């Protein structure tokens, strides 16, 4: 009897211990096995009209500091038309303009018989925005919080949502105030995971001066100082190196000249049509029954203006399948401007041209724990920014025209968020778990054999007892 007891007591202790370890393991298993991307925080910054090569025109130490600490994509193909509202909505939807519906800064919807105008700040009609759902709507539907400082469309109710925090558009609010609000939102008790920051320059001065004007130097330096201010405020708030920051823009800028004006009045009577969106990609709405007349007179009017009927617009522009795209589109060559006549106001810079032109392309830098350091990539599509953002935020991307695969090489590891630290935890978890299960089974089998042996021995003893009693 004594040898058997000595065998059973240690196995009971082992069983007890094993149960506890198994229970702890089972509790930890879900988090170890979780393949959810780490939900990182992201700040998306747009300096309107910051052309990709402005960083080479004057000393821009803060841009270069960000480049050395992050990724620089040299050419970003934005979407046609290369204007502010279409491209800002592309960044937050991943869609071409024809698919997200913000097809221009100035629009007319023939079904609603309603207009949309950036010039008149008449941009709050939800129906113009609701062909798509911007990323903040998805972010909030998935339980997160967004903060937006003046990003186009963020003070409009879209599918029932405003960003969790937003600032009603007001051009006079300083850059510093916009940054302060964002930092408050990122550091509050219920922090945002996604921030959007918009600044009107250097676009405005680019229009007034022209991008080749030496006076653009100080304007670009000022943006560099603003980026420096943003980085220093993020450092003070202990957010630098913690959040992922993407610094980009909507489009570039082309130099104009009073020698390169195309005057519509020389070719066609102004009474026959309306101009909806302005130069250099002019959206023309002919009067009832005047489509062919207006088209024919403009089609071969000027060698530096290409005129399309809507259905002829080349597929590569992805600018056809939307009712807000007008029946005639007249696009000027780079550096040319389309006006009614020479008395129209003249500006020295403009954008809106074919998105194939490098001059229309924006800057793109990405800095933060998710990104490679001191790395460059040659080209990407602006439509890829959206799937990249969704990946970083750990939210589901809606159907879009971008590709996460096309940009995942700018991330710090092959697929760092999904299979980064989590994979390590998973491997350790699975290994440890398998080990514990094997130990558990071994101990259980051992225990079972001992129990069986004991029972047999007890039975044997009991069976033997009567004989002994006898």
170 touches ligand NAG (CB under 6 A) = yes
Residue nearest to Zn ion (CB): 203
- Residue 214 C-beta: closest distance to ligand NAG, Å: 22
Q: Scanning residues 238 to 267, which ones bind ligand NAG (CB under 6 A)?
A: 265
Choice between 173 and 237, CB closer to ligand NAG: 173
Residue 418 to residue 391: CA distance in whole angstroms: 9
Q: Which helix (H) or strand (E) holds 329?
A: strand 328-332
Residue 21 to residue 44: CA distance in whole angstroms: 45
Instruction: Pick what 203 binds: ligand NAG, Zn ion, none; C-beta below 5 to 8 Å, kind-dependent.
Output: Zn ion
Which part of the chain contacts ligand NAG (CB under 6 A), choosing from 224-232, 334-342, 429-437, 457-465?
334-342
Which part of the chain contacts ligand NAG (CB under 6 A), choosing from 55-63, 354-362, 373-381, 456-464?
373-381
Residue 126 to residue 313: CA distance in whole angstroms: 27
406 touches ligand NAG (CB under 6 A) = yes
379 touches ligand NAG (CB under 6 A) = yes
Per CB under 6 A, the list member of 36, 68, 451, 465 interacting with ligand NAG is 68
Contact between residue 311 and residue 349 where contact means Cβ atoms under 8 Å apart: no
Choice between 134 and 362, CB closer to Zn ion: 362
Contact between residue 151 and residue 46 where contact means Cβ atoms under 8 Å apart: yes
Which part of the chain contacts ligand NAG (CB under 6 A), choosing from 228-236, 240-248, 340-348, 352-360?
340-348
Q: How many CB atoms lie within 10 A of CB 126?
A: 11
Per CB under 6 A, the list member of 140, 221, 304, 423 interacting with ligand NAG is 304
CA of residue 379 relative to chain centroid, distance: 16
Which part of the chain contacts ligand NAG (CB under 6 A), choosing from 204-212, 237-245, 331-339, 414-422?
331-339
Choice between 231 and 253, CB closer to Zn ion: 253
Residue 84 to residue 80: CA distance in whole angstroms: 10
180 touches ligand NAG (CB under 6 A) = no
- Residue 364 C-beta: closest distance to ligand NAG, Å: 12
405 touches ligand NAG (CB under 6 A) = no
Q: Is the dihedral of CA 136, 139, 143, 145 positive or negative?
A: negative
E-state strands within 200-313? 244-248, 254-255, 261-263, 273-275, 281-286, 305-309
Range list of H helices, 69-125: 84-91, 97-100
Site residues (vs Zn ion, CB under 5 A):
203
φ, ψ dihedrals at 323, nearest 5°:
-70, -15
Choice between 203 and 337, CB closer to Zn ion: 203
335 touches ligand NAG (CB under 6 A) = yes
- Residue 105 C-beta: closest distance to ligand NAG, Å: 19
Please return the burial class of 202, using the count of CB atoms within 10 Å of its CB with bins 0-12, 13-18 and 19+: buried
Q: Beta strand pairing status for 146-149 and 165-166?
A: parallel
Dump the DSSP string for 333-354. Answer: PTT-EEESSTTS---SEE--S-
381 touches ligand NAG (CB under 6 A) = yes
Q: Beta strand pairing status for 70-77 and 328-332?
A: unpaired
Choice between 18 and 313, CB closer to ligand NAG: 313
DSSP-assigned letter for residue 124? -
Instruction: Pick what 28 binds: ligand NAG, Zn ion, none; C-beta below 5 to 8 Å, kind-dependent.
Output: none
- Residue 405 C-beta: closest distance to ligand NAG, Å: 9
Instruction: Pick what 244 binds: ligand NAG, Zn ion, none; C-beta below 5 to 8 Å, kind-dependent.
Output: none
Residues, the chain = 470
Contact between residue 54 and residue 363 where contact means Cβ atoms under 8 Å apart: yes
Catalytic residue numbers, as ranges: 84
Residue 58 to residue 179: CA distance in whole angstroms: 24
Instruction: Pick what 95 binds: ligand NAG, Zn ion, none; C-beta below 5 to 8 Å, kind-dependent.
Output: ligand NAG
Per CB under 6 A, the list member of 13, 35, 111, 113 interacting with ligand NAG is 113
Which part of the chain contacts ligand NAG (CB under 6 A), choosing from 186-194, 206-214, 215-223, 377-385?
377-385
Q: Which helix (H) or strand (E) holds 165?
A: strand 165-166
Contact between residue 127 and residue 175 where contact means Cβ atoms under 8 Å apart: no
Q: What token pair was written down for 75? A: 């050419």
Instruction: Pick what 401 binds: Zn ion, ligand NAG, none; C-beta below 5 to 8 Å, kind-dependent.
Output: ligand NAG
**Interacting residues with ligand NAG (CB under 6 A):** 68, 95-96, 99, 113, 170, 172-173, 265, 303-304, 318, 333-335, 340-341, 343-344, 374, 379-381, 399-401, 406
């Amino acid at each position: 009897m004594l040898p058997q007891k000595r065998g059973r007591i240690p196995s009971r202790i082992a069983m007890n211990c094993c149960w506890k370890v198994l229970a702890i393991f089972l509790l930890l298993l879900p988090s170890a096995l979780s393949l959810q991307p780490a939900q990182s925080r992201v700040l998306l910054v747009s300096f309107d009209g910051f052309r990709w090569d402005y960083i080479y025109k004057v000393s821009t130490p803060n841009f270069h500091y960000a480049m050395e600490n992050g990724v620089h994509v040299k050419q970003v193909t934005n979407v046609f038309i290369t204007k502010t509202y279409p491209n800002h909505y592309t960044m937050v939807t991943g869609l071409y303009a024809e698919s997200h519906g913000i097809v221009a800064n100035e629009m007319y919807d023939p079904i609603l018989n309603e207009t949309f105008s950036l010039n008149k700040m008449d941009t709050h009609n939800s129906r113009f925005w609701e062909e798509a759902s911007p990323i903040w709507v998805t972010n909030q539907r998935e339980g997160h919080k967004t903060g937006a400082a003046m990003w186009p469309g963020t003070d409009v109710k879209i599918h029932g949502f405003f960003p969790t925090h937003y600032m009603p558009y007001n051009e006079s609010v300083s850059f510093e105030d916009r940054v302060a609000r964002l930092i408050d939102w990122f550091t509050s008790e219920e922090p945002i995971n996604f921030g959007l920051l918009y600044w009107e320059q250097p676009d405005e001065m680019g229009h007034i001066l022209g991008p080749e004007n030496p006076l653009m130097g100080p304007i670009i330096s000022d943006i560099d100082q603003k980026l420096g201010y943003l980085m220093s405020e993020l450092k003070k708030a202990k957010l630098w190196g913690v959040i992922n920051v993407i610094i980009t823009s909507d489009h570039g800028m082309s130099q104009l000249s009073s020698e390169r004006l195309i005057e519509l009045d020389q070719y066609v009577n102004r009474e026959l049509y309306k101009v909806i969106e302005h130069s250099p990609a002019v959206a023309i709405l002919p009067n009832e029954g005047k489509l062919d007349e207006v088209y024919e007179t403009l089609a071969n009017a000027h060698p530096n203006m290409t005129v399309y009927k809507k259905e002829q617009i080349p597929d590569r522009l992805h600018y056809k399948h939307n009712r807000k795209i007008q029946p005639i589109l007249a696009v000027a060559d780079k550096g040319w401007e389309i006006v009614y006549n020479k008395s129209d106001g003249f500006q020295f810079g403009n954008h809106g041209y074919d998105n194939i032109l490098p001059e229309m392309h924006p800057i793109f830098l990405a800095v933060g724990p998710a990104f490679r350091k001191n790395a460059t990539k040659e080209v990407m599509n602006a439509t890829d920014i959206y799937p990249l953002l969704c990946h970083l935020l750990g939210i589901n991307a809606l159907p879009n025209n971008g590709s996460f695969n096309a940009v995942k090489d700018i991330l710090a590891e092959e697929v760092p968020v999904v299979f980064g630290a989590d994979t390590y935890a998973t491997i350790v978890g699975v290994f440890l778990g398998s080990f514990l299960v094997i130990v558990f089974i071994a101990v259980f089998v051992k225990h079972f054999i001992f129990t069986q042996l004991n029972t047999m021995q007890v039975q044997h003893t009991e069976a033997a007892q009567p004989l002994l009693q006898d």
